Chains A and B, each alone.
Chain A
Amino acid sequence: MTGPGNQSQSKLVRWIDHRLPIFTFMQHELHDYPTPRNLSYWWNFGSLAGIMLVIMIVTGIFLAMQYTPYSPLAFDSVERIMRDVNYGWLMRYIHMNGASFFFMVVYIHIFRGLYYGSYKEPRELLWMLGVVILLLMMATAFMGYVLPWGQMSFWGATVITNLFSAIPVVGHAIVAWLWGGFAVANPTLNRFYSLHYLLPFVIVGVVVLHLVALHQHGSNNPLGIDRKGPQDSIPFHPYYTIKDMFGLSVLLIVYALFVFYMPNALGDTQNYVQANPLQTPPEIVPEWYFLPFYAILRSVPDILFIPAKLAGVLCLFGAIGVLFVLPWLDTSRVRSARFRPVYKWVFWLLVADVVALGICGAHRPEGWYITTGRIATLYYFIHFIVLLPVIGWLERPLPLPTSISAAVTRKGGAALAGAAPSMEKH
């Protein structure tokens, strides 16, 4: 497609486009779509997340053709995929490691949004839809991890579903309802399988909304200032299609290193032992991408009259919930951290804080790890609830460039060299 659908050379294309403007739509949203000219490689991670979603769905569909969601057979059926199904090992290792890479990409995407203030007016709903996607991803990943029916599948499912028993009065009834019985068992496996197949398509739906919201105002950019005219934009195709393709090839190289040379490095060895309800593994640890949340859950002590378990669950959900209201917690009108001398540091403190939480989540809550976990949990909430509003009021942002093109092109760049550091060089 080189021209808009309704002016196409092809009579067939014109005929279709007149009745169903799919070609015009693609022309507008994928080809002409005006995009800031200064997006850095941190902006690749949105499209990478979309591609990871597709990879997960495609490999997942093939795995589902061979998998048996019945508790006495599930573990062996996964091993059958590994051993006897043509390229089954490849599908499974791509899917298994894909979960890690999907989260890695999405976490970078989220932190990019945090650094450059991509959640601010007018992109609040775009951001909130992203948080919905994150929640759905977490639910999908958790249920998918249960399907191989290894020891960590079973005990992870037991621990996480038991969280709901912290709800006063109705908690235990809710847990029995989730399980479909009085313990994690075959009914639980069946419904998790069903939902694990359903939720990715719900994610696709929310991703479509996410994209509609994105294309309403277009991408934010490293300077965080609005586009003032056509000189600030370039068409999405070919500039960002080729840049996204290159970024994808780099991601695939790292991904392939894991799939082909260390496919089990990110997983738990205990999941190669079949689920045994009578034997608790020495440690019950979630996959790495849940570790910060797991640390928050385990760090919280009794708070006044709230028992530790309930408080932990509330903080766990609060850690995501606070992201929903983030656009209104950050009171600064300047988007990009580049022009926010104080927030820039606080941002990196948050990154370090989340990493620290992850480390605490990987270890037994003993001694040093309890203290660190509690401080890191407290700081996580202080960052969003206290620091962001206060810094927004007190901070004196640096002067913003007059326009994107003035700041990033060679002509305009000299005057603002200080404001456009090396990250922008393509």
Chain B
Amino acid sequence: MYHSMTSEDIALLREIIPADRVLTGDEILSDYFHDELSGTHSEPEALVFVLSTEETSRVMKFAYERNIPVTTRGAGTGLVGAAVAVHGGILLCTSRMNHILELDEDNLTVTVEPGVLLMELAAFTEEHGYLYPPDPGEKTATIGGNISTNAGGMRAVRYGVTRDYVRGLTVVLANGEVVELGGKIVKNSSGYSLLNLMIGSEGTLGIITQATLKLLPLPAVSISLLIPFRTMDEALDTVPFLVRSGTNPTAIEYMSTDVILYAQDYLSKKFPDTSHDAYLLLTYDGQSQEEAEKNYSEACRLAIEHGAADAYFVDTDERKKPVWSARGAFLEAIKASTDEMDECDVVVPRRKIADFIKYTHQVARELSLRIPSFGHAGDGNLHVYICRDGLEQSLWEEKLAAAFEKMYKKAGELGGQVSGEHGIGFAKRPYLRERLGEVQIGLMRRIKEAFDPKGLLNPDKIFTLSDED
């Protein structure tokens, strides 16, 4: 169906993009064949590093004329295989488009290239007294990747997700045309929001080459609370009370002690407290110490009223470091605790989190698997990890499939969705199709067709163009 690239194609490509940025064969490091987690593995025929919208447009015109598939990739930190070139073709890497172009303090926006890393943007905005609120755990992800998956993160409880902070995008379409979507505008009722269609489309509709993002003034004070509970049930049952308390927490994370212990081993750094079974980690932002203190004091009182054993203040940099570095290392720590694992990033209504976690424990017992989890209690997004722990290949595949089947089904029954923030990519397509059904997947296919009639942009991601899944 797609054109396989010939040496002539490569030579032509090297005429439109400087040759040292067009890699083929052994020149391409194996890192570019996979992402951070999913088993998706495939070699591109060419790896191209673009430096501008114009170059990206040239590559797309070239690919469009020749029917070559193009997969966009940022830092490759995805977890579902979205940035893997499953049909070969061109892997178009935007990681070198990494400039922060403009800070507009009158419109409270920052304009960046897609390869800027989340941690670079955070440092830049904070240095200038502003906050870019989306805060996914993977700080070395690119902004382009964050937009493409509509990444969420820990501050979603108060501030929302990436979608809520994208004001404008420059996008290169499948045929190389360039469009400007949205802009530095707060309101917009001007037709279909192609901007919002692009956000979360995982490179299947266009290639983001510039983004204008909304900023907030940097909170003067930010304090976290580590709240210990005797059981995870008690911890999670407290969450709805905190959410509706009017204290306006920025983050509500849940963590079990077994996961904290993995992080302790992984980081070789003791966590400040492991004497209880379960913890909630809350953050409160404020423009003054008094404002933050009023809110977190009320949260402490509420939590203790609902069974918390105490509440600990995580109020200075040196106190935040061991707590948040452990929280940030959970994924890698669980990964290090086993030989292989896969993840389930479901989102359920907040009130149903406890039900879902109990169900994961049930699945773990039924299938004799270890299934640790942690996640965003405040927004219903869980990160559930199924660990192989030395299982023989066919048994592992069988058990993994059974566990996924059960958990995605349960998430659906609870009114949830397949992915809260990691996306669908290649790995989660069957579960999305199961959850959304033919009508919605059919609409998505027709949208894809409108943007990308030849099906060249990141093919077979999110859904397949045919009915193969």
Q: Do A and B bind each other?
A: no
What residues of chain B have their CB less than 8 Å away from a CB belonging to chain A?
Answer: none
